[in-house]
Structure 1
């Protein structure tokens, strides 16, 4: 009974936080400028072409490798035990995607935290991808820092539309158009795939992994699914699709449904229910269960919350069923409280997934 009451308290904490951030409209809403017009058409067309390739494939389908990236590194600080570097690179996504990006997002930014006393050949590195609202590097560097003693380095990617890559007219993490969410995801995936190749070929790291919280977990799963060799894959507090977060979870209350109904670039006079169905269809393009099973599913560890108000339990279970051999670990809490309280469980999952490679 006590555990049940604690779980309910965590669930309601998510809803209280969501009410303050979304229902009471204390912060701008997502997609206040509508669907995105031609940019959304482009992204849907690209997704449709990939779906045709996937349907025609006789084995696991695979995207072509993105062009190589060549980050220019500067050392931020160095101690006897660790070194922090920051790097910048031109996004490796193809020309049509680059033209769809805001100018501020053309240059990618990464941070790399490495142990001093171990060579890369005897070390691992995990690439951490951003969750919703995670601007900059510090939060994910803090998560990865305790892993240095296990010779696990941390690379942090700043996503397009976030931090220094955020368009000036965008309020915080509130993306202006639905197309921005798809574009953020597709470019993040291409950049992450290129960075993993850099870590292996140029960085010389022995074992690799990719992780992320919430939205970052969805992106991490996609990246791990498409990587040609076995890597650790760690989706934390993540749904199987962005449609779950925006159409079922608390983020639906932070969505500008009225602006989407009134968007003249789309059909006029759509009802709210029609707009919601349209959103489900568009964000269904992010359904990771339609991606290939990673090369080493036993090195996939989901960490999910028992009382998550943003991510319903059925979505996590659907995700895990699509990848037989993967593992789910449940932590007691909601989305917000688990994000704050369970870093040690996330770190333990990273150590264990790397050890399974």
Structure 2
């Protein structure tokens, strides 16, 4: 029975993937190519940063942001506010972002009548599952209301109200957009955590995310200068796995990428194009990032029958971060998101429990 259920979950992923990625309902990823100068900029920046990581240097401290807030609703026990702030990326990266993506948007759900010094706070990196209002994920809301954990839901660049005008839905137009999205998300998350820590005075901090959000949560936890609980859910160690090995490879515009290279007088087979994609997306390999300050507070939640994320990918990152924990849930990528919210919530609570309260408190 267990094997049959595992197969069913895997099949559900592939049926969903076929509808989303093999039909003409939505355009494929990267239909406008590699990204030209933007891709060159991001590759250059990554090549400057990785040697620092390998030599053990700390990532520069994040700039402090000050979001502007407005109250959306409040009850006797909780308050939801929406905030905006300009992305703290440097001038080159900000110029590379589409105008619609340069303003960060965050939803802050916090229990009332509890001093921040006595409260934990988690930054939740949101893709399609959290769009600031009714889209606040039940995962987060439940954690806050039941366990008294404040939460900031940060919307990705290129998604929701930060989506570029020419982009349809979630389908990024260029390969460089994926790297830009990641770099901006990392800088915005680190700055937001810094603000919550220094200005608001929360007693302990964490960062979580699901799927692509989980990859970025791993990066943020790795690069943040102070210990934070790091909680990646249903996420790979690299975008290579998602776009070159998992179901998303069927939703990638390989022919358009090959044709762009041909226009530059670079002749490649489709297999060679896929290999070039692997090289580019290796910049997202989290195993090349530093081990987080508190690896015992890293909890991965992974699915046994995930059609998008193979098991080996999760285990590679666990191996790179000794002391981290992997928790397995029975299901696929789609079904686990629906069925296993309790496990995600428990990981958030347990991860935060493994972070010490600030010494000042």
TM-score range, shorter chain: over 0.9
Residue in 2 that maps onto 1:42: 41
Alpha-carbon distance in structure 1 between the residues aligned to 2:61 and 2:216: 16
Asked if 1 retains the 8 angstrom alpha-carbon contact of 2:106 and 2:152, the reply is yes
TM-score between both structures, scaled by the size of structure 1: 0.96
Residue in 2 that maps onto 1:136: 131
* Paired residues for 1:1-357 under 5 Å: 2-55=1-54, 57=55, 59=56, 61-131=57-127, 133-134=128-129, 136-137=131-132, 138-148=134-144, 149-264=146-261, 266=264, 268-357=266-355
Alpha-carbon distance in structure 2 between the residues aligned to 1:127 and 1:136: 14
Give how far 1:189 is off.
0.2
For 1:86, what is the secondary structure of its paired residue?
Answer: strand
Give how far 1:145 is off.
1.2
Alpha-carbon distance in structure 1 between the residues aligned to 2:130 and 2:240: 22
Per-residue CA deviations over 1:90-113 (Å, capped at 9, x if unaligned) read: 110000000000011111110100
For 1:186, what is the secondary structure of its paired residue?
Answer: helix
Asked if 2 retains the 8 angstrom alpha-carbon contact of 1:108 and 1:158, the reply is yes
| Equivalences, count | 352
Give how far 1:195 is off.
0.2
Alpha-carbon distance in structure 1 between the residues aligned to 2:105 and 2:154: 6
The Cα RMSD (Å) is 1.2
TM-score between both structures, scaled by the size of structure 2: 0.95
Alpha-carbon distance in structure 2 between the residues aligned to 1:76 and 1:202: 22
Per-residue CA deviations over 1:1-47 (Å, capped at 9, x if unaligned) read: x0110010000000000001111232110000000001000000001
Give how far 1:267 is off.
5.0
Give how far 1:139 is off.
4.2
For 2:328, what is the secondary structure of its paired residue?
Answer: strand
Give how far 1:158 is off.
0.9
Asked if 1 retains the 8 angstrom alpha-carbon contact of 2:62 and 2:194, the reply is no
Alpha-carbon distance in structure 2 between the residues aligned to 1:320 and 1:223: 16
Alpha-carbon distance in structure 2 between the residues aligned to 1:118 and 1:141: 22
Which range is displaced more, 18-27 or 295-304? 18-27
Q: Which runs of 5+ in 2 are unaligned?
A: 356-361
For 2:205, what is the secondary structure of its paired residue?
Answer: strand
Asked if 1 retains the 8 angstrom alpha-carbon contact of 2:61 and 2:225, the reply is no
Give how far 1:269 is off.
2.2
